[in-house]
Every structure is written in C-alpha cells, then in structure tokens.
Amino acid sequence: MNKVKEIRKERGLSQDRLAQLTGISRKYLSMIECQRATPSVSIAMKIASELDVSTDKIFLDLSTENPTSFPKVIRYIDLFCGIGGFRYASQYAFDKLELNGKCVFSCDIDKYAQESYTAKFGEKPAGDIMKIKASDIPDFDVLFAGFPCQAFSICGLQKGFSDDTKGTLFFDIARIIKEKQPQAFVLENVKNLASHDHGKTLKTILDVLRDELGYHVDFKLLNALDFGLPQKRERIIIIGSKKPFLMDWVFTVDYMKTLDVILEKKVDKKHFASPEIIEKRKSMHSASVYPSIWHENKSGNISSYPYSCALRAGASYNYLLVNGERRLTPREMLRLQGFPDTFKIVVSDTQTRKQAGNAIPVDMVAKVIEKFLPLAF
C-alpha cells in the first residue's frame, strides 16, 4: 500500500512533473500509484523526498528487513563473458558469503575469448547471443553481463522494449530476463553510458528493466581505483532484483595493490618502445613518482601516475608506457584488471591485450556482488 497519488495531488504535482523530479518514467510512476509495482527503497526515498514526507508515511508496507533466503546453489549465467571476469568476481563473492554458485551457461562471440575461457574453466562458451533462444538456456537465479554500449531508437516505451531496443545486445539481455525471470542481475557498462545519446540510452535501459520487466533497479558509477586496483577505470554497474532493496554503495577495501606488485621484474625486450619514442617522451615529461605509468592523450600531452589509466582494447600499443620506456605486458594488464596469475594465457599478446582491455575490474565487481546478493534474495 502507498499514498503516492494522494500526496502528489495534495502537493499539486502532475505525474509528469513528479516522474521528472525523481528520474523515473511516467509509466513506472503510474504503476506505483496503482499498486502494480513496488519501488526499490532508493526510488521510494526519492519520491518521498520530492513530496516532502518521510518514506514510512507514504509507503506503508515497504520494508528493508525482509529475511534473506538463498537457494542451496545459486545458478547463474555469464553473458558476453569475455575471459571470465564476472565468473572470477562471483566466485570471490560466493566464497566470502559462504554460498555455492554454479555457472549454467556462458556465451561470447569472440573465438579467442572462447579459447581463453575454455582454458581456464573447461567449458566452451556458446557463440552469438542473438542466435540463441532463451528457452534453450537452463533456468538460473542470477544474470551477469558486461554488454556493449549501443544507441537505441527512442520513441517512448508504449510499444515495449522489443521496439525500443531491437537490434542491440541489451535487447537480448532483456528478452532472456523476460522469459527466464531470474531473481537478480548485475550489468556492467562503460562510464559514457550515462551520457550516451544525451542520456537516452541509460534511461531506456532503466525504463525497460523497471517498467517492462518489473524489477527493482539501482545503478552507480564506480572506479576500480577505489577497490584496490591501481587502474583508473570507471564503470557503470546496474543491479536489479525482484525484491525491493536499498543498496549501500560505500565499500571497504582490504588493501591497495601498488604498481610494485603489478609490474613484472623480468620483461622481454619486445615490450620496450623504440629509442626514438623513449627519447621523445622523456624530453617532454619528467615523472615525480616511481614506478609510474605514462599516459599520452589524443592531444599528445603526457602525464604520469602511480597507477594506470584505463586499459583499452583498441588503444595504441604506445598509449601507456611503464616509466616512459616500455609497454605493459599481457600479464601486467591482466593483473591490473584483478585476474590472478593462475589465469592461463593461451592466445597471442595482441589478443590478450584486447581481452584485458575488454574485461571487467574483477575486485570491484566482486565487492558489488558480495554486498548485493544478500539484498536480492
């Protein structure tokens, strides 16, 4: 039960205006007012704040004290799995929570990523998700996916997500969620998702997850630097559950890895830049810290830090240089993303650099999963 409609009218606000103030769609607000949807605690708090009332005065049955009830085994799927970042992260979280997790399905279209994933986990991911029927995927409890940022055709949600997102990989996430009805999901995307297509892309994603699929959803921009990894890598994390929840996005980090533990002691000569490039870099810049990773931006300006700027799959080989002299090795790039040295490198250096650049920051996502799962079940 809630009094949103009653109090909104008392305040003289239209549905359109309250939806705009709270950052949700008018359709979702209408569903809340008609008792056909229960908002997440964070959305409820936004609505209550805009209506200038306490949350418990407007949402009479919203509770954050519902007991957690985990299944004996949490079954999950790993979409756009790459080299298994989500699988590593989820296993770390399961171990912390003393839970049993089992991956029942994975997919990635890249044959080299499939090769690396198979070498580690002994399972070859399925291929193109666009060609896989949701009915062919085993039942699961949690969906993990790091998906590409693609523009949508924005024409309102009256026609449903199939019209607004068709032809994008998010559509495949949405159709799988719709048919399989998992308890929860964790999605990862690039920082620019928030501003992509003037914010319309992220809005469409959130509207589909909330309005069309009926999930309680929250999201946050996080930085791997804040999770013990010496890499400035900002990513948007979207979480959703069938159960209302209030996510605390403040995390405690056990320790901060430094470049000293990331960088290899013996490095093959092939990773060093040419004498000309080294001389040019050092004539333009002098580092104040050691060791450091030098970053050259598109304008040719050089800066150095005791951490790495974001790894990029398609970046120039000379984009980042250790102490201005050499490129990061494939193993170092994997370490910067939180992959352990037990990860087997079975493809070329070029492919490994691409895979590391496309991967998720394992330590960061593990912390999110660890904190979110008890709220989602």
Give the HSE-up count for residue 99: Cα atoms under 13 Å, Cβ half-sphere: 23
Domain end residue (candidates: 27, 58, 89): 58
d(CA 18, CA 55): 15
369: closest CA among 78, 64, 62, 41?
A: 78
pLDDT at site 35 = 80
85: closest CA among 328, 372, 368?
A: 368
pLDDT at site 31 = 87
The CATH number that applies at residue 28 is 1.10.260.40
Which residues does the annotation mark as catalytic?
149
In a domain, 337, yes or no: no
pLDDT at site 200 = 84
Amino acid letter, residue 147? F
Query: Are the beta carbons of 242 and 216 closer than 8 angstroms?
Result: yes
Provide the domain count of the chain. 3
The CATH number that applies at residue 150 is 3.40.50.150
Partnered with residue 185 across adjacent β-strands are: 143, 240
pLDDT at site 158 = 40
The secondary structure of residue 185, as a DSSP letter, is: E
Q: Is there a cis peptide before residue 340, judged by omega within 30 degrees of 0?
A: no
- Its pTM surpasses 0.85: yes
Q: Which residue reads 């068709």 in tokens?
A: 166
| Residue-by-residue DSSP string for 79-148 | ET-TTTHHHHHHHHHHHHHT--EEEEEEB-S-HHHHHHHHHHHS-PPBS-GGGS-GGGSPP-SEEEEE--
pLDDT at site 162 = 52
Contacts 24+ apart (CB under 8 A), 118-125: 119/344, 119/346, 120/83, 120/84, 120/343, 120/344, 121/84, 121/87, 125/78, 125/81
The secondary structure of residue 2, as a DSSP letter, is: B
Residue spans of beta strands (DSSP E) within the chain: 74-79, 101-106, 142-146, 184-190, 216-223, 231-232, 234-241, 293-296, 302-305, 308-309, 320-322, 326-327
In a domain, 299, yes or no: yes
- Both 87 and 214 in one domain: the answer is yes
In a domain, 154, yes or no: yes
- Token readout for 186 is 């964790």
pLDDT at site 57 = 78
* Residue ranges of the chain whose pLDDT lies below 50: 153-161
- Both 39 and 184 in one domain: the answer is no
pLDDT at site 154 = 40
pLDDT by residue (tens digit) across 52-84?
988 877 886 555 556 778 999 999 999 999 999
d(CA 254, CA 262): 17
313: closest CA among 374, 372, 355?
A: 355
In a domain, 195, yes or no: yes
- Both 273 and 158 in one domain: the answer is no
Determine the structural domain holding residue 39 and report its residue range: 4-58
Strands 216-223 and 234-241 turn out to be antiparallel
